[in-house]
Structure 1
Amino acid sequence: MTDQPNEVNPPRAESLMPGDERNAPSPMPGGMVGLMPDKPQKSYSQGQLVRRRFFRHKGAMVALVVLVFITLLAFTSIGIGPIPGWWGKNYTSTGSAIDGGRPTLGWFTIGEHPFGQDTVGRDFFARTMRGTQISLIIAFVVGIGSTIIGTVVGSIAGYFRGIIEAILMRLTDLLIIIPLLVLAAVISARAGGSGIWALALVLAAVTWTSLARLVRGEVLSLREREFVSAARAIGTHPARILFRHILPNTIGVIIVSTTFSISAAILLESSLSFLGFGVRPPDVSLGLLISEYQNAFTVRPWLFWFPGMFILAIALCVSFIGDGLRDAFDPRQNRKGD
């Protein structure tokens, strides 16, 4: 009876039949016969892994391309400030409505007024692009501002605990129990006439509460880790421990929350402008355009649909990007090819 190959008696090279070369053990140094070592895997840093995972997220990549296209279209078409754009019409210039103000946009043609004209002959493409500019500026300022406030409040409350945590968390709870739309409407009613930057800062001041609670929870967990105890033992200043050792480990939660804050800010600003508490004429935003032309929905629906589609597209794009970032930063997911 033929002995079966095992670890004690490995198969001899001369005993292999012709055609079995692919099963033959590879010779090792010193005349030994064994298996070749596995090819070493390329190692990546944490940042490289996150970037690779994000770029492989198809939904996030498509959303990123669409968002960049919308942003470039809005800011290059009519320009911004003293910088002119390639679209020759102004969003405030009036005139006579051609063909009832119907859109001239076709499958292969743009025409003179691709999005049509409003009741006083203003080019609606220029007005929509201006509204997109204002909505994007407000959304990103609100997202970044609320992230800074929420991160600072949550990290200080989670690390120092005691009376500091009690004061900051009770303030956070107070803002949470007040309906956000009502609170934003009351405060922005005074700031709306001061310009879009004042309005954005007001909205940032009332939308940081969710992130503050998330960051506080992360800091409470991290402050008990060994590397934080070691930093305390050698006399490291608490501010350095907090901002150099703890907060970098919460960057995933912060970035993902920022993207969702931007998406929520788009909808919040549109709601406030629709109710008359946001951007004020003669300036425009996407929400204000919908509010101005809501009565024209049955006779001139394009005045309602174009701003609405841009609001929907921006909000969806930012949400998909947030989903991609969340998946990229989540270490618990099993991914092939990392």
Structure 2
Amino acid sequence: MVGLALVVFVLSTAIFGPFVAPADPDHQFAEGLLEDGTPRAPGGAMVLGADTLGRDELSRLLHGGRASLGAALSATIIAVLIGLSVGTIAGYFGGWLDSLLMQLVDVMQSLPFLLIAITVNRVVNSPSIVVLVVLLGVLSWTTLARVTRTKTMQVRELEFVQAARALGMGEWRILARHVLPNVTGPAIVIGTTLVANTILVESAMSFLGLGVPAPTSTWGTMLHDAQDMMSLAPRLVLYPGLLIVATVFGFNLVGEGLRDALDPKD
């Protein structure tokens, strides 16, 4: 329940935050910086103060939540669709197709994610958030595929599947109607934890300058922009950092709860 409350909070912030943001997140206010160039402290019209360029910190946090969560959820959907498809097909049909798909999983797991991200960032000039989402999704499905394959191999030997096959039902119909609904539980749990992992990866990439290009605001880019002000204005690191921690913690707790709720042994 604590995890669900955190998830509802961050999702509500991402959905409704930009509508209640007090200012344009990219607008640089002259009064946002003091005479010595340091960001304005919280107070007055700027509830959370200004960032290193004089932009309203609260507005950037609210808009950044939509970008960070939107990227994480979109990438997770791509990863779940790929992993669920590969895992169920490999586990149900077996044979050479299973060997081929599992070799593909091994190849994908051996790819260095950070090196690929750097390469894409150099090849694609100022990669958009769509490129980042596709990259995260395509490289995050392997664990889900392995778990789904194992679960599918168990389900395909159960009596109701054998009965459907004996009645003349086609293999693809059995897979879609009887096998797939029985392996979606673990996929949902892994998908929930994938959201948390993807948020961390996106934040790390943005912090390293490999994420969404400026001036688009994400929590990771806010950390990147604030790293030179950690000693003078630690709040600029604290705000997005706390939101990232709360989001990851919440999704991980929800995943644990779903795993217990969907456990057939309970």
TM over 0.5: yes
2:16 is equivalent to residue 62 of structure 1: no
Q: Which residue of 2 aligns with 1:88?
A: 22
* Letter aligned with residue 102 of structure 1: A
Q: 1: CA distance between counterparts of 2:143 and 2:118?
A: 19
| Stretches of structure 2 lacking an aligned partner (at least 5 in a row) | none
Q: 2: CA distance between counterparts of 1:243 and 1:168?
A: 19
Q: 2: CA distance between counterparts of 1:113 and 1:147?
A: 40
* CA separation of 1:228 and 1:178: change in aligned 2, threshold 3 A: same
Cα deviation, residue 67, structure 1: 2.0
Q: 2: CA distance between counterparts of 1:220 and 1:192?
A: 44
Cα deviation, residue 191, structure 1: 5.5
Cα deviation, residue 129, structure 1: 1.4
* Letter aligned with residue 115 of structure 1: L
2:137 is equivalent to residue 204 of structure 1: yes
* Letter aligned with residue 182 of structure 2: N
* Letter aligned with residue 75 of structure 1: I
Deviations 1:262-292 (A, max 9, x none): 0100001011111111111111211111111
* CA separation of 1:271 and 1:114: change in aligned 2, threshold 3 A: same
Tell whether the 8 Å contact from 2:25 to 2:60 is kept in structure 1 after alignment. Answer: yes
2:147 is equivalent to residue 147 of structure 1: no
* CA separation of 1:185 and 1:325: change in aligned 2, threshold 3 A: farther
Deviations 1:40-96 (A, max 9, x none): xxxxxxxxxxxxxxxxxxxxx222222222222333232xxxxxx233311011112
Tell whether the 8 Å contact from 1:192 to 1:198 is kept in structure 2 after alignment. Answer: no
* Letter aligned with residue 93 of structure 1: H
Tell whether the 8 Å contact from 1:103 to 1:302 is kept in structure 2 after alignment. Answer: no
CA RMSD of aligned residues (A): 1.8
Correspondence list, 1:235-254, <5 A: 235-254=168-187
2:17 aligned to 77, 89, 97, which one? 77
Q: 2: CA distance between counterparts of 1:192 and 1:300?
A: 32
Q: 1: CA distance between counterparts of 2:4 and 2:102?
A: 35
* CA separation of 1:145 and 1:67: change in aligned 2, threshold 3 A: same
Q: 1: CA distance between counterparts of 2:65 and 2:93?
A: 42
Cα deviation, residue 173, structure 1: 0.4
* Number of residue pairs matched by the alignment: 261
* Letter aligned with residue 40 of structure 2: G
2:230 is equivalent to residue 297 of structure 1: yes
Q: Which residue of 2 aligns with 1:317?
A: 250
Cα deviation, residue 235, structure 1: 1.9
SS at match of 1:319: helix
Cα deviation, residue 169, structure 1: 0.6
TM-score normalised by L of structure 1: 0.73
Tell whether the 8 Å contact from 1:263 to 1:319 is kept in structure 2 after alignment. Answer: yes
Q: 1: CA distance between counterparts of 2:246 and 2:237?
A: 15
Correspondence list, 1:205-244, <5 A: 205-244=138-177
User: Which runs of at least 4 in structure 1 moved beyond 4 Å after TM superposition?
Assistant: 188-192
Higher relative contact order (CA 8 A, sep 6+): 2
Correspondence list, 1:93-132, <5 A: 93-95=27-29, 96-97=31-32, 100-104=39-43, 111-132=44-65
Q: 1: CA distance between counterparts of 2:190 and 2:117?
A: 20
Q: Which has the larger radius of gyration?
A: 1
Deviations 1:75-128 (A, max 9, x none): 3232xxxxxx23331101111226651123xxxxxx421221023311011111
